[in-house]
Amino acid sequence: MNHRLFLVPTLACIAGLSAAESVPEPAADAITVQAEVEAPPATGTKTETPPLLQPQTISTVDSDLMSDQQVLKLEDAIRNVAGVTIGGYYGEWDYFRIRGFDAGDNTRQDGLFASPGYWLSPDMAGVERVEVLKGPSAMLYGRSALGGMVNLVSKQPEHTPSTKVSISGGSYDFGEIMGDTGTTLADGAVGLRLVAMGRTYGSYTDGVEDSRRLYIAPSFTWWGEDTTLTILSHYQRDMLNAAWPLPASGFITENPNGSLHRDLNVGEPGFQNTVDNARMAIGYQLEHRFTDDLSLKQNARYTRLNETFQGIYPSVLQADDRTLDRAVYNADSWAKSVQIDTMINARFATGSVRHEGLLGVDFGREHTTGRYGYAAIASLDVFDPVYGATPGPFTDYYDGETTIRQVGVYLQDQATIAEVLTLTAGVRFDRVDAEEIEALAATSTESHDTGTTWRVGVAWAFRPEASVYTSYATSFRPQPYNQSADGEQVDPERGDQIEAGLRLADLEDRYSANLAIYQITRRDVATADLANPGFSIITGEQRSRGFEFETKLKPVDGLTFTGSYSYIRAEVTKDNSLPVGDRLLNVPDHSANGWAKYVLQEGVFKGFGAGLGVQWYSSQAGDLPNTFELPAYAVVDAGLFYDRGPLSAQINVDNLLDKTYAIGSYNEFYVRPGDPLTVRGSVSYTF
């Protein structure tokens, strides 16, 4: 890495400031929106811009809501967000789509990729809140999913020492012990925090053994006069035994042999579908204030991951509609990555217009190594399963390594007029170099992609508690796993979004709401090369149009409500093999959810409360091309709470009515059942 590269934004901004006017004080009668949120989400701008003046939709799931719902997985948290649909084909990983497009492999933590190169199931014990940016995020973050980005904000040391311990138990052998403790040293200049959690849990699927997870996250903060330094680290170890998906026939579509129950094991109880995953990360967040109007921020992280996997995969259901052919795969994978994002933030003025400029450079390097094999195994009669089959000898089909290097330079300006009108404009240039070496085939391939992305938007706070906004943003994402017939990697995928919306945010935090309409177009999608099977060409285009609404209400003391509704029409508009007009996979046209909680505020039962929630999804396309649907479904959740003094307790019941449904799919042989009625209880003590 050329370290001189990171001096460029520093020198440029300092030079610009020397010629700029000082920032004027707001007029006494100006509409000020900063007070509405104590810590505005930074995911959408990388600055502390008040939500009313942000030009793109961003939603936040806070710690209170995650605690009320006893959230364990990222999927469970973001199901509360409008425009997000959850559910894939395996239950142990987080799969979700934002505004119709896959985004599960684009998760970030504190602004940096959470686990480059690997699907992720982060533990939520160390997460303070979840921020969801809707639409392209490439201008600020580089290569990324078109539909949006999820950013996990880590728990950090606080100025007030506290300790919380909790113990939980529930259905299917669920058990958990967690501690969260923090203190300060050096007269409050140093903060320490440790989050630690151990969990065991089983499965409703027959014959699947219990899984275990260990999570430890120590952190350190030094609060200096002009400098703040936070060290963040965590270690997560998963020893999972996973249930595989079911075929659609007999589960959600008709089968002449009868119906399949959701607890069917299509694997082998004696040969578990196992994942042994160890992930370690350490990094820092540095902020230095040169003056009130000039500051430097740098985020960095080193991540290392090791994973061993074995699993039985369904392949095809034979003509008798009951015999399921299967295959066995195993994998050993290693990955490590380094990421650095350096930003100079400068506030200055040109006449009566205030500016907040951001100039940044980010760098990333990922190196992954993997060895994958497969073996044969006997078929299974899914209507009369007889277990005991063992895999045949394994044959390696891949042994290789991939290195990806990325450098991006970005510039953003937020110009504010009269404290109520903000114009945001930004541009970014990326270069992504990838190299793959495959030992078995003795091949080596390289790719070098560049992309320029930009965003422009305007937000007008026409009242202290209301604003309108509109924006246009573009995206850029290489497609490293798609090659043309001449052996070259296909060109990057690109896209854009146009959006308009209305925000409401009460200054006393009694209510907030957001309404948005948008159109996203995904271009240069790699599709099958019909003249050269096994290769791809760039002919595809997909489009998502939608409307969404979400709100948070606190109408009276003790009562809170969170709700959302989304309409998404996501479809194929151009393709070489898929029919035009086909709906995109696992995207319901309509979805809605709501969660209400009321806690008694006085009397002998003060501190007791109850919560009730509903999730509803219309039918979804089960595959591409569209050959079957996942039926519409609604799930009811409930909770009972007690919180008085240092002691708190709660019981949550998910899927209260024990509804059988399909939450996601990949094709007709990979359909994921939703969880049955599940009960979890916890007791916590804070001191």
Looking only at the bridges linking them, the beta strands covering 323-350 and 620-621 are: unpaired
More confident residue, 203 or 23: 203
Phi, psi (5° rounding) for residue 264? Answer: -65, 135
How buried is 214 (Cβ within 10 angstroms: 0-12 exposed, 13-18 middle, 19+ buried)? middle
Q: Report the pLDDT value the prediction gives residue 478, as an integer from 0 to 100.
A: 87
More confident residue, 491 or 312: 312
Q: What average pLDDT does range 164-192 have in this prediction?
A: 97
- pLDDT tens, position by position, 11-40: 333 333 333 343 444 443 343 333 333 457
Q: What average pLDDT does range 381-402 have in this prediction?
A: 94
More confident residue, 14 or 71: 71
Buried b (16+ CB within 10 A) or exposed e, 228-252: eebbbbbbbbbbbbbbbbbbbbbbb
- pLDDT tens, position by position, 81-94: 999 999 887 878 88
Cα–Cα distances (Å) from 203 to 266, 344, 674, 677, in that order, read 14, 49, 12, 12
The amino acid at residue 297 is K
Quick one: what percent of the chain has pLDDT higher than 90? Answer: 80
Q: Report the pLDDT value the prediction gives residue 36, as an integer from 0 to 100.
A: 34
Q: Which residue has the tokens 């020492």?
A: 161
Q: What average pLDDT does range 658-679 have in this prediction?
A: 95
For the stretch 313-316, contacts whose Cβ atoms lie closer than 8 Å and that sit 24 or more positions apart, written own/partner, are 313/244, 314/244, 314/245, 314/247, 314/266, 314/669, 314/670, 315/669, 316/669
Q: Report the pLDDT value the prediction gives residue 15, as an integer from 0 to 100.
A: 36
pLDDT of 280 over the 50 cut: yes
264 and 150 Cβ atoms separated by less than 8 Å: no
Q: Report the pLDDT value the prediction gives residue 325, as an integer from 0 to 100.
A: 96
Edge-to-edge strand list for the sheet holding 84-86: 84-86, 96-98, 101-102
Q: What proportions of the chain, in percent to the nearest 5, are helix, strand and coil?
A: 5, 60, 35
How buried is 219 (Cβ within 10 angstroms: 0-12 exposed, 13-18 middle, 19+ buried)? buried
Q: What average pLDDT does range 120-143 have in this prediction?
A: 93
- pLDDT tens, position by position, 529-561: 656 666 676 678 999 999 999 999 999 999 999
More confident residue, 538 or 236: 236
Q: Report the pLDDT value the prediction gives residue 230, as an integer from 0 to 100.
A: 98
Q: Report the pLDDT value the prediction gives residue 37, as an integer from 0 to 100.
A: 38
- pLDDT tens, position by position, 438-474: 999 888 888 899 999 999 999 999 999 999 999 999 9
More confident residue, 283 or 38: 283
453 and 138 Cβ atoms separated by less than 8 Å: yes
pLDDT of 329 over the 70 cut: yes
pLDDT band at 491 (very low <50, low <70, confident <90, very high): confident
pLDDT of 428 over the 70 cut: yes
Q: Nearest to residue 165, comparing CAs of 609, 648, 681?
A: 648
Phi, psi (5° rounding) for residue 103? Answer: -140, 5
User: How confident is the prediction for the chain on average, in pLDDT?
Assistant: 90
The domains of the chain, with CATH numbers, are: 3-686 (2.40.170.20)
Quick one: what percent of the chain has pLDDT higher than 70? Answer: 91
Q: Report the pLDDT value the prediction gives residue 117, as an integer from 0 to 100.
A: 56
pLDDT band at 615 (very low <50, low <70, confident <90, very high): very high
How far is residue 659's CA from residue 653's CA, in Å, rounded to a whole number? 13
pLDDT band at 485 (very low <50, low <70, confident <90, very high): low
Q: Report the pLDDT value the prediction gives residue 443, as an integer from 0 to 100.
A: 87
More confident residue, 406 or 21: 406
Residue 539 half-sphere exposure toward CB, CA atoms < 13 A: 15
- pLDDT tens, position by position, 207-230: 999 999 999 999 999 999 999 999
**3-state secondary structure at position 16:** helix
Angle (CA) 455 458 463, round 5°: 155
Q: Nearest to residue 117, comparing CAs of 370, 357, 390, 494?
A: 370
Q: Nearest to residue 51, comparing CAs of 445, 412, 513?
A: 513
Q: Report the pLDDT value the prediction gives residue 490, as an integer from 0 to 100.
A: 77
pLDDT of 590 over the 90 cut: yes
166-175, 321-330, 538-547, 650-659: range with lowest mean pLDDT:
538-547
How far is residue 2's CA from residue 340's CA, in Å, rounded to a whole number? 12
